[in-house]
Chains A and B, each alone.
Chain A
Amino acid sequence: MTHQTHSYHMVNPSPWPLTGALSAFLMTSGLIMWFHFNSLILLALSLLTNTLTMYQWWRDIVRESTFQGHHTPTVQKGLRYGMILFILSEALFFMGFFWAFYHSSLAPTPELGGSWPPTGIHPLNPLEVPLLNTSVLLASGVSITWAHHSLMEGNRKHTLQALLITIMLGLYFTLLQASEYYETSFTISDGIYGSTFFVATGFHGLHVIIGSTFLIVCFMRQLTFHFTSNHHFGFEAAAWYWHFVDVVWLFLYISIYWWGS
């Protein structure tokens, strides 16, 4: 009995879970040092160690799968479950912020003037840049579907092109949103409107950046021939995540930008 008789992957011992946990803990203390004692060193160190952990852990996963062949269909099934559960947890995370928004906006208090938007708040026009942002993300959903189909059909050139378009659209969204943040007449400290607006859209923006990074990694991997036409779960996970980000934006647009104005 010198080989395993099951199709699961018994991963070799790895330091990355420990360094990841340590860096996350360091991040909490780093945030406290920044908020209360005006010191950025711990936070910077934690971000560095966290980034290094992520890079090396995922690099090892690519090595184990693409180069060493450990990702059997069984393993891939587990990864699918994992990604779906993670995205579900993210959906619940955003639901909390939508709850907060609706709690405050459905019954605005007298301190706000009994109205939503509160007295003195001038919301962004939903038919200007936010509508453009919506079309950008919807288009990126189309292009990533095109990329996936090209990948499944073995069309390398089209996969690269479509992935690149998706990434460009994602970056365009981020730039547009950053400029909108600059242009608003209200800030995060402007009452409950500012809080709900910037926390919800801010976390969404962070997820767009994460999703774009994931897509860029997929682009690099496609360039270096990692994916095959029927085994490319990394790409599928990125596509699922990207569609999730798009759907969250649609809810944000309809609730906060449109109904909330």
Chain B
Amino acid sequence: MLGIDCPKPKGRWPTAPFDPRFPKQNQTRNCYQNLLDYRPCVKRMRRRGKSTQPCEYYFRVFHALCPMSWVQRWTEIKDGTFAGKI
């Protein structure tokens, strides 16, 4: 069978939880919204001098939900052409 010989990594690997703001099949907005929420969260925590660990939730959600190409495209734009409000 496929994968039966692969070593299973240790620890729990939960995926993104159900978000009632995005109940339907199209989860694009779910992915995008968490991406948009991550950066300001980090900024706010840093400004208050607190740890950015709670913001890791957003990071993990959008890494779990978004296609890798989107994650790469949206996290690597550094020339000011990102369209979202951050």
Residues of A within 8 A of B (CB): 109-115, 118-120
The CA of A115 and the CA of B36, in the complex, are separated in Å by 13
Interface string of B72-83 (1 = CB under 8 A from A): 001000000001
Main secondary structure of the interface of A (DSSP, over half): loop
- B52 within 8 Å of A (CB atoms): no
Which residues of the partner chain A approach B29 to less than 8 Å between Cβ atoms?
A: 114
Considering the chains assembled together, what is the distance between the CA atoms of A112 and B28 in angstroms?
13
Closest to B83 in A: A113
Q: Considering the complex, give the chain A residue whose CB is closest to the CB of B74.
A: A110
Chain B residue nearest in CB terms to A113: B83
CB nearest to B31 among chain A residues: A110
What chain B residues lie within 8 Å of A114 (beta carbons)? 29, 32-33, 36, 83-84
Specify which chain B residues have a CB less than 8 angstroms from the CB of A118 in the assembled complex: 83
A119 lies within 8 A of B85 (CB) = yes
- Chain B contacts with A in 2-54, Cβ cutoff 8 A: 28-29, 32-33, 36
A206–B85 CA distance with the chains assembled, in angstroms: 37
Query: Chain A residue with minimal CB distance to B84?
Result: A113
13 A–B contact pairs at CB < 8 A? A110-B28, A110-B70, A110-B74, A110-B84, A111-B83, A113-B85, A114-B29, A114-B32, A114-B84, A119-B83, A119-B84, A119-B85, A120-B83
